[in-house]
Every structure is written in C-alpha cells, then in structure tokens.
Amino acid sequence: MCDYHSLSDEEKQHYHKLLLDAAEKFGGKNFFLHLLEAIRETKPHPLTAANRTFTMELGEIKWNKTIFKDKLQLLQKIRLEESKRGNLLPPESDKSYKKSLNLVRTLKPIVFHVKPADKENGAGFFFQPFEIVDEKTTRLNPLFDALFFCAIGTVKKLLNYEPR
C-alpha cells in the first residue's frame, strides 16, 4: 500500500475510503495527519512502548500487548516484500518462514484503539494489525501500515485521491 504509484485506481479508491473514514473518526484529515507526524517523530518507535500507549495532545492509541523491538524489526523487514508476493508470509521453503509465521501468531490478537482527545472530534476507531485471507495468506492491515509505517506523503495522496 505504501507505494502509491504501483496501486491501481481501484486500490487507490479503496484505500482512500478506508483512510478517510478513519480520519473522520479521529477529527478530520488534519488531525489524522498530525497524528501520523507525531508517530514518525517519536523515537524509539511507539509500537515498542512498554506501557502499550502512544499519547499526543490530539488523542491516543492504545493496544493490549507489548511488541518487542526484535518483532518490530522483523515486521518492518517482511512488510517490504508483501506487495510483490501478495502475502506477508514468505514461501514455506524460505528459511525466514517460521519466524514470520510466529510473528503473525504473536501479533494477530492485538487490537489497536485510536481515540481523539475530544470526543466531539469523533468516536475513534479500532483495528487489528493483520488481515487473514486464508490459511496460507496474511496481509498487513492498511490502517496499521498507514499509521505506523507508510510515508506521510503517500497517506496524504491517498486521503486526497479523486478518481479520474
């Protein structure tokens, strides 16, 4: 999802609707983009926070399980190949398959709750990090990818996308 130019018009439209819906539930496009900027500026990566919370003046993100640095590094590595394969998991013959499968099993039950600080701005939303397509196919949830990994410019283009 993070490579805007490789997406088809249908995919751009789908991601536009998904991200716009999330942005509206957080207070609008500007608040959502401000949240993304705050996440990108935070070091170390907010997903590794021991208290499982990322807080800023416009709202917060909470999740129910600690994510360790080694799991985050593996996730960042395997997500780069996902768009080529259409699957987050490498082929079973790949030596990194077992580690990747264990990563998915570990992170799958996590639920992220995104809430604006002021309830008048929106109700917030929640999501899980993966979409399980079938027994052998797992994809990164586009909201998870957009919030924590994609370039802000790509997310901005998708939020402002208008079909031709």
Q: For the chain, which ranges sit under pLDDT 50?
A: none
Under a CB-based contact definition with an 8 Å cutoff, are residues 156 and 33 in contact? Answer: yes
Sequence spans of domains, the chain: 8-159
**Mean model confidence pLDDT for the chain:** 91
What whole-number distance in Å separates Cα of residue 118 and Cα of residue 124?
10
pLDDT of residue 63: 96
Task: Give the closest residue to 157 by CA, choosing from 42, 1, 4, 13.
Answer: 4
pTM: 0.90
